[in-house]
């Protein structure tokens, strides 16, 4: 099984709304704090309630989360795992 080759580059920045410490994830070009999380236009829908998801950063990785938490617990991986190529 091959490991996913996605690289997420994180750089320190300030939220464009409130000036608090924010995280920019270069592959998605987002810069916002937890309070003012921007919803990108290509955000996937929540698998439970179909609302556009927001990007969250956990202890180990970033992921998509339903903005209606704690009423909805929908999440998605940030990247789809790479499929193994067919071996002939």
Q: What is the mean pLDDT of the chain?
A: 67
Q: Where are the domains of the chain?
A: 10-77
Cα gap 31→67, rounded to integer Å? 17
pLDDT band (50, 70, 90) for residue 70: confident
Cα gap 19→47, rounded to integer Å? 32
The pTM of the full predicted model, rounded to 2 decimals, is 0.47
For the residues of 3-60, what is the DSSP string, one character each?
A: PP-----EEEEE-TTT--EEEEETTTTEEE-STT----TTPPBPTTT-PBPEEEE-SS
What pLDDT, in 10s, does the model give residues 37-53? 555 567 889 999 998 88
pLDDT band (50, 70, 90) for residue 54: confident
The pLDDT value given to residue 86: 60
- If one counts every other C-beta atom within 10 angstroms of the C-beta of residue 53, the result is 22
The answer, yes or no, to whether residue 3 has pLDDT greater than 50, is: no
């Amino acid at each position: 099984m091959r490991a996913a080759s996605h690289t997420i580059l994180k750089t320190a920045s300030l939220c464009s709304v409130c000036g608090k410490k924010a995280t920019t994830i270069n592959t998605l070009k987002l810069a916002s704090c937890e309070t003012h999380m921007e919803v990108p236009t290509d955000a996937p829908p929540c698998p439970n309630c179909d609302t556009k998801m927001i990007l969250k950063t956990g202890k180990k990785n970033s992921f998509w989360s339903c903005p209606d938490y704690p009423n909805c617990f929908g999440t998605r991986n940030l990247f789809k795992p790479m499929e193994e190529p067919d071996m002939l």
